[in-house]
Amino acid sequence: MQENINQIKKTLKLNFEISGWDNILNPFLDSKEFDNITDKLSTLVEQDRRFTPKFKESFNPFIETKYQDLKVVIVNQDPYPQLGVSDGLAFSCSKTGKAEKALQFILKETIGDFTETGRVIYTPEECNLKRWANQGVLLINTALTCELNKTGSHYSIWKLFIEYLFKNINKENKDIIFVLMGRKAESWQLLLNEQKILKCPHPTSAAYNNNIWDADKIFKKVNKELNLQGKTCIVW
């Protein structure tokens, strides 16, 4: 890869120490499994098969959400496949400041419709989901990267990492609220037996349902559960 893996690893370790994820993630960075991930991605780059987001950006969820603040995990499938859109946080569009279709449905569910000349318009600030991450919401894709314009292309590359991550979160915590969006996300449920599970269709399913996302007030359910746990609700 164009970026130096050893330098990125060193930087990630320092960032994880700051965000509190070091006890969980730093051992993985030193593992053979992590080397296999970087080797596979490097091979793709050598074959001129570009991917998104940049490798160092794919770990942004663990930088923006401090481990000690973790209370909600929103599980998406994989990043936006277009170049220059994904910032590493699931569904977030901070790079472009324009909401992709999936994020439009999410924002419609959380903050309502805003229309201008017949189009749904959301501000760049609303498209940046760091504001959720900074409140303890881990926005994770089950594949941290994907090949450009090829949705689902990197699931196998990241499978062992996601398995490692979820097993460790499940081992070290109880009653973290996991929001599983879509069937790919739901497939990880068995690893999360100590957590509170909420499920809903993936936002893109709305394209097959007259542009209606049947989210069943999922974000209100999250806050209701947080309230029951005596935790601060998320300002969506």
The C-alpha angle with vertex 88 and arms to 57 and 30, in degrees rounded to 5, equals 50
Question: Strand, coil or helix: what is 68?
Answer: helix
Residue with tokens 């196998």: 156
Annotated catalytic residue, options 30, 39, 78, 175: 78
Count the helices and strands in the chain (H runs, E runs): 10, 8
- Strand duo 72-76 + 137-141: pairing: parallel
The alpha carbon torsion through 163, 166, 167, 171 (nearest 10 deg) reads 170
Tell me whether residue 78 is one of the annotated catalytic residues: yes
Element of type H or E holding 140: strand 137-141
Please give the DSSP secondary-structure letter assigned to residue 195.
S
226, 230, 235, 236 alpha-carbon torsion, rounded to 10°: 0
Q: Would you please indicate which residues are annotated as catalytic (active-site) residues?
A: 78
